Amino acid sequence: MDGGHEGKIAVIGAGLMGHGIAQLFAARGHDVSLMDIDGGRLARARDDMRGNLAVLAEHGMVRGEGIEAIVGRVAATARLEDAVDGACFVVEAVSEDLKVKRRLFAEMDSLCPPEVVLATNTSVISISEIARDAAGRERIVGTHFWNPPYLVPLVEVIPGRDSAPWAVDRACELLLSAGKRPVRVKKDVPGFVGNRLQHALWREAISIVEQGIADAETVDEVVKLGFGMRLPVLGPLENADMVGLHLTLQIHEYILRHIESSPQPSPLLREKVEKGELGFASGKGFRSWTPRRIGECRARLQRHLVEWCGEKGEGHGDG
């Protein structure tokens, strides 16, 4: 630990992302209030944080005061008024539902003094749309974390149409002080940067399976053992520069008309959802999943992220 930080943080929504964001700030010394309308989810959040921190501790990534002191800084509440009371920064991580988020931001705006920054962790929804019904739209920004938020370094910081530069600056400063790597997105467009890129890839991956070009196992292998191996150290635009823009142009002139460009979700994806083939949750999605294989897949991902972050000293919010 680096001695703790001033300022209470409120995290609204204690699900997969919310409990991890709360843990991240608590590990940096902030008092955190964590709020959810689901009492069961709120009760599980502490144990989830303990579990996450135990894995980090095994890799020497929890130093100083230890797990219980970190978890002890997170106060759970079912009341929004109590959660935001005295907070200097609020992060919303409730379900990805525009109406729910819009209502919540209007309410938080009426509860919090004007200098408090209100941030949404929406994955893809326009920040301006979420802020629409709040009077103080200048202090509403997007802070898009990636799962698990206490490990993955990146946070996209997105201004809404009416966001003030001070609110964006404050969000970036807070995230930097929490050990994250904030990047400033210039325009409030659906999907921001990361999810536009990610879902362009997923759309093509599904289309390749749908067209019978390759099966799902092969698609995943092509990514993991092929160009995916370069991605942690070479972004697509660095890569384009590396191979040369002349070649990139030649490739695009030939290939782009053959790549999936549908503005609708794939019929195969719809069909699977209608049949109840939901992935891990039902044991079958694009791939087949037994409980053992699900456990192995999750463990593989966690090990990769922890080892990568431990090596780089990145992301885990304790340092």
Measured in residues, the chain has a length of: 319
CB distance 29 to 3 below 8 Å: yes
Q: How many other C-beta atoms are found inside a 10 Å radius of the C-beta of residue 44?
A: 15
Binders of ligand NAD in range 117-146 (CB under 6 A) = 121-123, 145-146
Q: Which amino acid is residue 92, in one-letter code?
A: E
Contact code string over 85-124 relative to ligand NAD, x by CB under 6 A: --------xxxx---x---x----------------xxx-
22 exposed, middle or buried (CB, 10 Å; 0-12, 13-18, 19+)? buried
How many angstroms from the chain centroid is the CA of residue 169?
A: 20
Strand (E) or helix (H) holding 308? helix 291-312
Q: Give the residue, chosen from 9, 10, 11, 14, that forms a contact with ligand NAD under the rule CB under 6 A.
A: 14
By C-alpha distance, which of 174, 172, 190 is closest to 123? 190
Query: Minimum distance between the CB of residue 244 and ligand NAD, rounded to whole angstroms?
Result: 35
Closest-by-Cβ residue to ligand NAD is 15
Residue 123 known to be catalytic: yes
For position 13 contacting ligand NAD by CB under 6 A, the verdict is yes
Helices 194-210 and 216-225: crossing angle in degrees, nearest 10, is: 140
For position 10 contacting ligand NAD by CB under 6 A, the verdict is no
Q: Which of 19, 30, 144, 316 is catalytic?
A: 144
Q: Which is nearer to ligand NAD, 121 or 163 (CB)?
A: 121
Query: Minimum distance between the CB of residue 38 and ligand NAD, rounded to whole angstroms?
Result: 4
CB distance 267 to 209 below 8 Å: no
Pairing of strands 87-92, 74-77: unpaired
Q: What gap in Å lies between CA 76 and CA 93, rounded to an integer?
A: 15
Pairing of strands 117-120, 181-184: unpaired
Query: Minimum distance between the CB of residue 249 and ligand NAD, rounded to whole angstroms?
Result: 34
For position 219 contacting ligand NAD by CB under 6 A, the verdict is no
Q: Give the residue, chosen from 110, 147, 198, 218, that forms a contact with ligand NAD under the rule CB under 6 A.
A: 147
Q: Give the residue, chosen from 5, 7, 16, 57, that forms a contact with ligand NAD under the rule CB under 6 A.
A: 16
Q: Which residues does residue 8 pair with via DSSP β-bridges, in sequence order?
A: 87
Residue 121 known to be catalytic: no
Q: Which is nearer to ligand NAD, 69 or 100 (CB)?
A: 100
Q: Which is nearer to ligand NAD, 73 or 144 (CB)?
A: 144
By C-alpha distance, which of 295, 5, 273, 20 is closest to 151? 20
For position 12 contacting ligand NAD by CB under 6 A, the verdict is yes
Q: Which of 195, 199, 266, 277 is catalytic?
A: 195
For position 68 contacting ligand NAD by CB under 6 A, the verdict is no
- Active-site residues, by number, are 123, 144, 156, 195
Interacting residues toward ligand NAD by CB under 6 A? 12-18, 35-38, 41, 93-96, 100, 104, 121-123, 145-147
